[in-house]
Amino acid sequence: MEKLQLENVLNAQYNKKYNGFIQYGTAGFRTKAEYLDHVLYRMGLLAVLRSKSKNAAIGLMITASHNIESDNGVKLIDPAGEMLEASWETIATNIANVEDAKLLSTVEQIIKEQNINMSVNATIITGRDTRNSSPMLLNAAIAGIQALQGTVRNFDVVTTPQLHYLVVCINTSNRYGDPSLDGYYTKLSKAFKHMRQNNINNGQYIAEVSLDAANGVGASALKEFQKHLRTAIKINIYNDGNGELNHMCGADYVKVKHEPPINFPLNSNVRCASIDGDADRIVYFYLDESRNFHLLDGDRIATLIAGYFKELLQECRLSFQLGLVQTAYANGGSTNYISNTLQIPVACVPTGIKHLHNKALEFDIGIYFEANGHGTVVFKNTVVETIKNVAANLELPVTERTAATKLVNIIDLINQTVGDALSDMLLVETILHAKGWGIVDWERKYEDLPNKQLKIKVSNKNVITTTDAGRRCVTPEGLQDEIDKVVSQYKKGRSFVRPSGTEDIVRVYAECEDSNDLNKMVIDVALLVYRRAGGVGAEPQL
């Protein structure tokens, strides 16, 4: 690399103003927006290096998802729409924290260690959410990209899943779809409308949903979707961008609090949904006649999808390895239903969307969802081709071709690159329509086990280590045996503990058949953690 180009790496405008340590995690960097100027500049540099290393376009998304408005963040997206390779997470953390005086040598070190050919062209696909800090941070990222002579393709305000989609389209020469926002809306809406034809309502299903958009970027995307969907479904949008981002609204709030968002109509048995700030999570909910709140989370969405896919595969007489991936947080009621009623294989992996996505890729058709509503479906290319061939084979019975055609359209409806709240919403609505189910019918398929979560403050979270996808505690020694003794006293009891990835907190999850027993069970386990793992402050209580 020429000396002049290397000197361009240094930019006093984006020198470090925050000396705290910041780490690249599953969701990239995420913290107070005021700390991120230099981080965004350096992620612009790193995105160029990653693009040259992979000889492909790389995505750079500025968002903090369900965090409060004053936060922000950034994550890089690899060529196939997947999250940044784990080894480069370490590189990202290093370059974000290095002192200004060592930035140039750090860039040179990355080039050398990764054997990067700097003559290769680099293309970075950029996007941002609607936070007030996002335009400024986007400018910092672009400055970093241009410092290493990378090419910027800026799509400005987009949802996180849309940026993943655009990266894949660009890197596959449009085979996955048209690399534009209009291409995204057109692909999904066309498949959605084709599935229901002129039959808008069906049985208990009414083509209308009330949706909480968390006052985030998903609100503007939903409004654009409405233009493409037209009369196929009515979407009533609330928290549509005129209020405070994620404040008492959004998928995370509804999931954790088990209550409706603010500024939302509360009519009985109406199908409602809530997405998060960057539109990659979705949960459904409703209030019954007694004003009781009912949550249909990622587990419910996964089981709905799995059951429908199994039916269609049977109808078109195709035998593929269909599998569903969960984490330890998945409700035991859903796991039992999938395994015993649907008889579909279930895999459990550690918490983190990257683990779920990678495991899902091992199946011919892999369905994965976290309980928080983040998930999608992935298909092997050979599976897609086989289904298309069945749909086009006029020698086969009409029933088989019809079922295969439905699968072809559903594949187009799904954003396989990442969890996409808008795509997932259309998929859920498609299946409910096909079944003729209202939201109550959907919920009746199985019962969730009563469950609770608690957080225990500890002096050092690393005292707790786990195995078996986070379901068994290894240290402190003997703690798991004590947890097992507590759990054994309750019918269908299950509990696990796991340390936070960022804070000195240990999370306790518990579930059992009897809701009256649940409070005692979760407190008993929490007290064990508090006493054995160095609890801080008052003893845990509900």
With H, G, I as helix, E, B as strand and everything else as coil, classify residue 115. Answer: coil
Count of other CB atoms within 10 angstroms of residue 382: 10
Radius of gyration of the chain (CA): 24
With H, G, I as helix, E, B as strand and everything else as coil, classify residue 61. Answer: strand
Distances (CA, A) of 268 to 200, 231, 290, 440: 22, 24, 8, 11
With H, G, I as helix, E, B as strand and everything else as coil, classify residue 8. Answer: coil
Q: What does the CA dihedral 530, 534, 536, 538 come to, rounded to 10 degrees?
A: 30
Closest CA to 459 of 504, 413, 495: 504
Q: Is the peptide bond before 476 cis (omega within 30 degrees of 0)?
A: yes
What's the gap between Cα 2 and its chain centre? 41
Q: How many whole angstroms separate alpha carbon 5 and alpha carbon 38? A: 19
Q: Strand pairing of 234-238 and 322-326?
A: unpaired
Q: Which residues contact 467 (CB under 8 A, 6 or more apart)?
A: 474
Count of CA atoms in the C-beta half-sphere (13 A) of 71: 16
Active site residue 65: yes
- Residue 102 carries which DSSP code? G
In sequence order, the β-bridge partners of residue 71 are 32
Distances (CA, A) of 502 to 293, 459, 461: 31, 13, 9
Alpha helices in 316-415 (DSSP H): 332-336, 353-360, 381-392, 398-413
Q: Judging by beta carbons within 10 Å of its beta carbon (0-12, 13-18, 19+), is residue 94 exposed, middle or buried?
A: middle
**Are 57 and 12 contacting, i.e. CB atoms less than 8 angstroms apart?**
no
Alpha-carbon torsion 112, 117, 119, 122, what sign? negative
Residues recorded for the chain: 542
Closest CA to 80 of 417, 419, 368, 423: 417
With H, G, I as helix, E, B as strand and everything else as coil, classify residue 259. Answer: coil
Amino acid, res. 331 = N
Q: What are the structure tokens assigned to 473, written together?
A: 């505690």
- Residue 33 carries which DSSP code? G
Catalytic residue (choose from 51, 53, 65, 423): 65
Q: Judging by beta carbons within 10 Å of its beta carbon (0-12, 13-18, 19+), is residue 444 exposed, middle or buried?
A: exposed
Distances (CA, A) of 355 to 98, 131, 528: 29, 29, 29
Q: How many whole angstroms separate alpha carbon 403 and alpha carbon 311? A: 9
Amino acid, res. 202 = N
Annotated catalytic sites, by residue?
65
